[in-house]
Amino acid sequence: MYILAAATTSRIVTNIIMMVVFFGIMVAIGLYFRKKAANVNGFVLGGRSVGPWLTAFAYGTSYFSAVIFIGYAGQFGYLFGVASTWIGLGNAFIGSLLAWSILGRRTRIMTQKLDSKTMPDYFGKRYDSKALKLAAAIIVFIFLIPYTASLFNGLSRLFTVAFGFQNENTAYIIIVCIMALLTAIYVTVGGYMATAVNDFVQGIIMIIGILAVIAAVLNTQGGFSGAMAALAESENAGWQYASFAGPMPIFLIAVVILTSLGTWGLPQMVGKFYAIKNEQDIKKGTIISTIFAIIVAGGCYFLGGFGRLFAEPGTKDFDSIVPSMLEKAISSDFLMALVVILVLSASMSTLSSLVLTSSSTLTLDLIKGNIVKEDKMDDKKQVFIMRIFIAVFIIISATIAIVQKVFNFSEIASLMGISWGALAGAFLAPFMFGLYWKKVTKSAVWSSFVVGLAIMIFSLIYKLSGWNFLNVTFSSGEVLNLANAVVAGAIAMIVTIIIVPIVSICTYRLEVKKGILNPAKVNEIFTCYTGKVIASATDAIGEKVEEPLPYV
């Protein structure tokens, strides 16, 4: 807790007016799409008919939350300087462009073939294993909670600056409650379509806000060249922080891997591919998503690279860096209000995606067919249960976030890193290989689940124990803990990507011999990529036609 000068009356009024308008639009969109959320397919996937702009923005806004703008930009900008920009570019080209190119089309086609609506459901049907489905559902439920809770962190600093709260915890509790309540309203009422449309609106706000903030911050230093010179000459920085190579390249690579490749295994991200409408929309969505990521992620990390010009020397309170930067760089009431809406947009878009993923997983993969018989779970009842769980998850995550803030439990990056590392470490390899390779075995999937989680659990135990035998000191004087959540998450993904094909090769014949794996059934699943599709003349125009209509 600390005291800041009170915000001016005009700033407070401007902030309140813009927030009321913003929240009103979000709720109105939720109410508008309530009819499209009447059944499970509509509530969870928008009827699998979502266009490229909505899907691309939904992907991007779920990807980039206030965790990145406040937490990651502040922490990694301070540690790497302007080299942190590579993290944003990695997010754009690995986390968006390659993810869409490699996973997008095959995910959409296979999940429709399997009629799977969630990632655990995909594992259960692709590998013909109810046990894998249940295990995946439990992993999603457990590890999305800390991620969801982390979204609220960092908001207190910004709202203390914007509204002049004397007590930071008071600011935090108020905004957490408001954000949680309004997100719950529009997600429970409108389902996936309300979330997707709100994500589009929030994404536009994020683009405008990021560009405006970068311009304002650079302007305080005399432009880009002036800011780079100030960073190189600052006693709190030095030439290495003004270099795009950075002071800790190994750690930088680990961060790029975790935050970029990690999205390939996150259920709330991959789930966006389930809902996209058609082939052409996937191609358009790939381009839109990549451009969005370049602007938002690249802009956030580039902005964070100048954090040392505004932070206290030697600070470890990374979550305060960006709010401090904004307080010193922004004098316009309107621009500060835009930044407030930017951070709310980033947080609410990701929160809505996470709680929708959690509630659908718990309802469709754990309760249906296990706790309640399938014949007693019609569409109406399933949607009702999902709505209840959305409210429950939001309450739980908000409570954890408030308790964590009051007792100073952990940093943003640590919470998010544990979640990303556990989910991506467990799921990425079996999900990706399962789309392309028929010989992935159940043993390989189990090995990925176990090894990915084991690495992240060790990281958590290491952190709580206070051990330091894996610390490495760089020439810059910064100390890197090789067991921290970021590095551990990157290791988990790389190790499981290696393990899955090796275990599959070693166990394939044994599983076929024992009847654990049925090649004929797998071959039938993969016909989704080779089967003929009836197309209209409009869609087939320009294609060489060998036979009369219908075009094939």
User: How high is the pLDDT of residue 175?
Assistant: 82
Confidence of residue 3 (pLDDT cuts 50, 70, 90): very low
Of 248 and 264, the structure prediction assigns the larger pLDDT to: 264
Give the bridge partners for 473, in sequence order: 479
User: How high is the pLDDT of residue 399?
Assistant: 85
Give the bridge partners for 479, in sequence order: 473
Confidence of residue 416 (pLDDT cuts 50, 70, 90): low
* Residue 138, domain member (yes or no): yes
Residue 542 has pLDDT above 50, yes or no: no
- The pLDDT tens digits of the residues spanning 276-303 come to 887 788 999 999 999 999 999 999 999 9
Tell me the C-alpha distance between 68 and 253, whole Å: 17
Tell me the C-alpha distance between 304 and 157, whole Å: 16
Give the bridge partners for 551, in sequence order: 535
User: How high is the pLDDT of residue 2?
Assistant: 37
User: How high is the pLDDT of residue 477?
Assistant: 59
Residue 481 has pLDDT above 70, yes or no: no
Q: With 0-12 CB in 10 A as exposed, 13-18 as middle and 19+ as buried, what is 189?
A: middle
The first and second tokens of residue 401, run together, are 């976030």
Give the bridge partners for 480, in sequence order: 472
Q: Are 361 and 141 in contact (CB under 8 A)?
A: yes
User: How high is the pLDDT of residue 552?
Assistant: 31
User: How high is the pLDDT of residue 1?
Assistant: 36
Of 412 and 188, the structure prediction assigns the larger pLDDT to: 188
Q: Are 95 and 259 in contact (CB under 8 A)?
A: yes
| CA nearest neighbour of 305 among 421, 393, 217 | 217
* 3-state SS class at 115: coil
The first and second tokens of residue 456, run together, are 């992240």
Residue identified by tokens 């060249």 is 225
Tell me the C-alpha distance between 435 and 101, whole Å: 13
Of 35 and 63, the structure prediction assigns the larger pLDDT to: 63
User: How high is the pLDDT of residue 522?
Assistant: 95
Of 68 and 447, the structure prediction assigns the larger pLDDT to: 447
| CA nearest neighbour of 81 among 265, 299, 412, 307 | 307
Residue 375 has pLDDT above 90, yes or no: no
Task: Give the DSSP letter of residue 7.
Answer: P
User: How high is the pLDDT of residue 536?
Assistant: 60
* Residue 147, domain member (yes or no): yes
Mean pLDDT of 445-472: 85
Cα distances (Å, whole numbers) of residue 492 to 257, 448, 472 = 11, 9, 19
Q: Are 5 and 328 in contact (CB under 8 A)?
A: no
User: How high is the pLDDT of residue 510?
Assistant: 96
Cα distances (Å, whole numbers) of residue 438 to 234, 368, 509, 532 = 56, 28, 13, 20
User: How high is the pLDDT of residue 92?
Assistant: 95
* Residue 522, domain member (yes or no): no
Confidence of residue 408 (pLDDT cuts 50, 70, 90): low
Rounded to the nearest 5 percent, the helix, strand and coil shares of the chain are: 80, 0, 20
| CA nearest neighbour of 90 among 107, 68, 115 | 68
The first and second tokens of residue 183, run together, are 């997100």
Calculate the CA 146 to chain-centre distance. Answer: 13
* Residue 312, domain member (yes or no): yes
Mean pLDDT of 67-77: 83
The first and second tokens of residue 480, run together, are 């890197």
Confidence of residue 33 (pLDDT cuts 50, 70, 90): confident
User: How high is the pLDDT of residue 549?
Assistant: 39
User: How high is the pLDDT of residue 351?
Assistant: 83
| CA nearest neighbour of 387 among 67, 69, 130, 30 | 30
Mean pLDDT of 303-315: 85
* 115 torsion bin: left (phi>0), alpha (psi -120 to 50), beta (else): left
Single-letter amino acid, residue 224: F
- The pLDDT tens digits of the residues spanning 492-532 come to 999 999 999 999 999 999 999 999 999 999 999 999 888 77
User: How high is the pLDDT of residue 533?
Assistant: 64
* Averaged pLDDT score across all residues of the chain: 84
Count the neighbouring beta carbons within 10 Å of the beta carbon of residue 529. 13
pTM of the full predicted structure? 0.86
Q: Are 307 and 74 in contact (CB under 8 A)?
A: yes
Residue 535 has pLDDT above 80, yes or no: no
Helices (H), 155-248: 155-163, 168-219, 224-233
Give the bridge partners for 471, in sequence order: 481
Inter-axis angle of helices 333-361 and 379-407, to 10 degrees? 130
Task: Give the DSSP letter of residue 364.
Answer: I
Q: Quick check: bond before 550 cis, omega within 30?
A: yes
User: How high is the pLDDT of residue 445?
Assistant: 97
- The pLDDT tens digits of the residues spanning 169-215 come to 777 788 888 888 888 888 888 888 888 888 899 899 999 989 999 99
Confidence of residue 159 (pLDDT cuts 50, 70, 90): confident
Tell me the C-alpha distance between 501 and 190, whole Å: 41
Collect all residues with Cβ–Cβ distance below 8 Å to 409 and sequence separation of at least 6.
403
* Residue 496, domain member (yes or no): no
User: How high is the pLDDT of residue 548?
Assistant: 42
Give the bridge partners for 50, in sequence order: 276
Residue 429 has pLDDT above 50, yes or no: yes
DSSP string, 246-296: -S-HHHHHHHHIIIIIGGGG-HHHHHHHHHB--HHHHHHHHHHHHHHHHHH
How many helices and strands in the chain, by DSSP H and E? 24, 2
* Residue 451, domain member (yes or no): no
DSSP string, 511-549: HHHTTSS-HHHHHHHHGGGTS---B-HHHHTTS---SSS
The first and second tokens of residue 76, run together, are 């990694």
* Residue 274, domain member (yes or no): yes
Number of domains in the chain: 1
**Greatest mean pLDDT range, 62-71, 94-103, 403-412:** 94-103
Tell me the C-alpha distance between 54 and 462, whole Å: 41
Tell me the C-alpha distance between 506 and 447, whole Å: 12
User: How high is the pLDDT of residue 184?
Assistant: 87
Residue 66 has pLDDT above 50, yes or no: yes
Tell me the C-alpha distance between 194 and 358, whole Å: 17
Q: What percent of the chain has pLDDT over 90?
A: 31
Residue 480 has pLDDT above 70, yes or no: no
The first and second tokens of residue 289, run together, are 């998503």
| Owning domain of residue 365 | 76-409
Residue identified by tokens 């639009």 is 25
Residue 534 has pLDDT above 70, yes or no: no
What CATH number is attached to the domain comprising 130? 1.20.1730.10
Residue 545 has pLDDT above 60, yes or no: no
| Lowest mean per-residue pLDDT among 245-249, 333-337, 341-345 | 245-249
The first and second tokens of residue 2, run together, are 């600390």
User: How high is the pLDDT of residue 5?
Assistant: 44
